[in-house]
């Protein structure tokens, strides 16, 4: 959002947030799965320290039953980086995965970054991996592949984690993970950070979800705040596009702005709704996505279809702007007919920093035959107290003044249950979609 804030976002100052998981010194800490969880098994190898490997993350791939992408940062260039992979606790079946250098320059800094694609994996199988550089290695971290057409899994849903100091984001995300350890995947529906060029904010964002993003795959969505530079002028979302290597969309001009992936029996289409922010640099994002989305939804054979996007499909009246009319946003007018045509089941959005469950909408009216639309709230501390006037299509509105929240989605065969929680675990809403 480009509205005024009560927080002083321009005075945001953060240093690098260290990875709390890399606390052991003097041994190669191996995470070993037991009946009670992950135990520490020390091996005679030197541990890669925080500055040598930072912000390890798992990224979704197009087929999460057979592959996973690993990415990480380093304070200094690594001499011989590689990833070692093995089935859980099977030391005799290790293999080395080659690494590519994904470094980039932004915000006056050279961001040293690496990635590795773990492919040819077996579905529904537990693996573990470690980042290596010569005789040093990170801790072992788990990789669990999805099952083909898996009928049961859980997902964590966050949105608009942009913050003044990212402590609220840490609190929301970490407590959500503790309460829902069964979650296999998570998403953030855009505006991950308040300023897309501010490297200190990205470090704070990554540091806040240590122990989550390195354990389960992440499906990011680009937001408008990813498209701001230090002077709060619009730019291309450089850092976002480089930090998150998502599945290819075969686009020449808009690679990584939008993509799709399968997880179990769900097909996810992820849209990039930043046309207005980047139009001064290049145009055609919406037109290209419309054509791509039709093919993407038409070609999917999964029983469930879910859309993730940042900007919302509805337009709200603003309390201090009575001339702004209630209705549908530009994104809603463009994409909702496509969602209806291809029978999308659920559409999850962010951007407005408020939780609203609209129920099922078809041709502009409530109808059980249309997709379920949920505006997912916020997971940071940028709040717009009582800004939006309720929309006629709202069915459930979070109590005002608005606070941060998170959501869960439980897929169970022919039933999907979505729940919304306050940071302390209080349930605000629950909705079920059935086939």
Has residue 59 been placed in a domain? Answer: yes
Q: What is the pLDDT of residues 343-367, one digit of tens each?
A: 999 999 999 999 999 999 999 999 9
With a pLDDT cut of 70, the percent of the chain lying above it is: 88
- Output the pLDDT for position 431: 98
Find the domain containing 116 and state its range.
28-144
Same domain assignment for residues 354 and 283: yes
Lowest mean pLDDT: which of 181-190, 321-330, 361-370? 321-330
Tokens of 416: 């999907």
Segment 271-286 mean pLDDT: 97
- Output the pLDDT for position 324: 78
Q: What is the pLDDT of residues 119-137, one digit of tens each?
A: 999 999 999 999 999 999 9
Segment 305-326 mean pLDDT: 88
Has residue 195 been placed in a domain? Answer: yes
Is the pLDDT score of 396 beyond 70? yes
- Output the pLDDT for position 384: 86
Of how many residues is the chain composed? 435
Segment 219-224 mean pLDDT: 98
Where does 139-209 show beta strands of DSSP type E? Answer: 141-144, 152-158, 185-188
Q: How many domains does the chain have?
A: 2
Same domain assignment for residues 88 and 193: no
Same domain assignment for residues 385 and 259: yes
Is the pLDDT score of 25 beyond 70? no
Q: What is the pLDDT of residues 184-202, one digit of tens each?
A: 999 999 999 999 999 999 9
Task: Determine the Cα–Cα distance for residues 291 and 200; give it in Å rounded to an integer.
Answer: 37
- Output the pLDDT for position 45: 58
Domain CATH for 321: 3.60.21.10
Is the pLDDT score of 208 beyond 60? yes
Has residue 401 been placed in a domain? Answer: yes
Task: Determine the Cα–Cα distance for residues 246 and 260; give it in Å rounded to an integer.
Answer: 9
Is the pLDDT score of 292 beyond 90? yes
Tokens of 230: 């230090």
Tokens of 192: 């991950």
Is the pLDDT score of 393 beyond 90? yes
The answer to whether 344 and 305 are in contact (CB under 8 A) is: yes
pLDDT band at 34 (very low <50, low <70, confident <90, very high): very low
Average pLDDT score, the chain = 89
Is the pLDDT score of 18 beyond 80? no
> Which of 225, 319, 305 lies closest to 262 in space, CA to CA?
305
Same domain assignment for residues 192 and 278: yes
Has residue 21 been placed in a domain? Answer: no
Task: Determine the Cα–Cα distance for residues 343 and 295; give it in Å rounded to an integer.
Answer: 13
Same domain assignment for residues 133 and 158: no
What's the pTM? Answer: 0.89
Has residue 11 been placed in a domain? Answer: no
pLDDT band at 22 (very low <50, low <70, confident <90, very high): very low
Distances (CA, A) of 422 to 131, 408, 429: 35, 11, 10
- Cβ contacts of residue 209 below 8 Å, gap of 6+? 169, 170, 173, 174
Same domain assignment for residues 429 and 366: yes
> Which of 139, 142, 147, 148 lies closest to 126 in space, CA to CA?
142
Task: Return the higher-pLDDT residue of 177 and 388.
Answer: 177
Is the pLDDT score of 26 beyond 50? no
Question: Which of 144, 179, 209 is the C-terminal boundary of a domain?
Answer: 144
Question: Which of 144, 164, 181 is the C-terminal boundary of a domain?
Answer: 144
Is the pLDDT score of 5 beyond 70? no
Ramachandran class of 199: left when φ > 0, alpha when ψ lies in -120 to 50, beta otherwise: alpha
- Output the pLDDT for position 245: 98
């Amino acid at each position: 959002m480009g509205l005024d804030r009560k927080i002083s976002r321009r005075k945001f100052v953060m240093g690098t947030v260290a990875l709390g998981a890399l606390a052991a010194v003097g041994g190669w800490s191996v995470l070993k799965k037991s009946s009670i969880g992950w135990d520490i098994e020390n091996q005679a190898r030197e541990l890669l320290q925080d500055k040598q490997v930072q912000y390890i993350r798992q990224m979704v791939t197009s087929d999460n039953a057979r592959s996973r992408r690993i990415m990480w940062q380093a304070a200094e260039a690594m001499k011989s980086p590689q990833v070692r992979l093995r089935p859980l606790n099977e030391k005799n079946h290790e293999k080395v995965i080659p690494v590519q250098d994904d470094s980039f320059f932004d915000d006056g800094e050279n961001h040293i970054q690496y990635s590795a694609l773990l492919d040819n994996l077996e579905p529904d199988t537990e693996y573990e991996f470690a980042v290596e550089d010569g005789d040093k290695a990170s801790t072992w971290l788990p990789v669990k592949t999805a099952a083909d057409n898996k009928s049961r899994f859980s997902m964590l849903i966050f949105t608009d984690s942009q913050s003044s100091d990212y402590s609220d984001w840490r609190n929301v995300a970490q407590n959500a993970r503790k309460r829902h350890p069964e979650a296999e995947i998570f998403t953030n529906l855009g505006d991950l950070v308040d300023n897309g060029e501010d490297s200190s904010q990205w470090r704070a964002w990554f540091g806040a979800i240590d122990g989550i993003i390195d354990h389960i795959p992440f499906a990011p969505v680009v937001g408008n705040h990813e498209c701001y530079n230090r002077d709060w002028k619009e730019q291309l979302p450089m850092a976002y596009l480089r930090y998150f290597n998502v599945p290819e969309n075969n686009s020449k001009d808009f690679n990584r702005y939008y993509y799709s992936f399968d997880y179990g029996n769900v097909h996810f289409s992820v849209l990039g709704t930043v046309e207005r922010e980047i139009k001064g640099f290049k145009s055609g994002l919406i037109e290209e996505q419309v054509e791509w989305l039709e093919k993407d939804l038409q070609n999917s054979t999964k029983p469930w279809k879910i859309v993730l996007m940042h900007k919302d499909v509805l337009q709200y009246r603003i309390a201090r702007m009575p001339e702004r009319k209630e209705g549908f946003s530009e994104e809603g007018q463009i994409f909702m007919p496509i969602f209806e045509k291809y029978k999308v089941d659920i559409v999850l959005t962010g951007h407005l920093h408020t939780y609203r469950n609209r129920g099922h909408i078809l041709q502009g009216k409530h109808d059980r035959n249309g997709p379920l639309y949920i505006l997912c709230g916020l997971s940071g501390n940028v709040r717009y107290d009582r800004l939006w006037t309720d929309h006629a299509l709202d069915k459930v509105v979070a109590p005002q003044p608005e606070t941060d929240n998170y959501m869960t989605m439980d897929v169970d065969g022919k039933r999907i249950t979505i729940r919304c929680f306050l940071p302390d675990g209080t349930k605000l809403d629950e909705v079920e979609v059935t086939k």
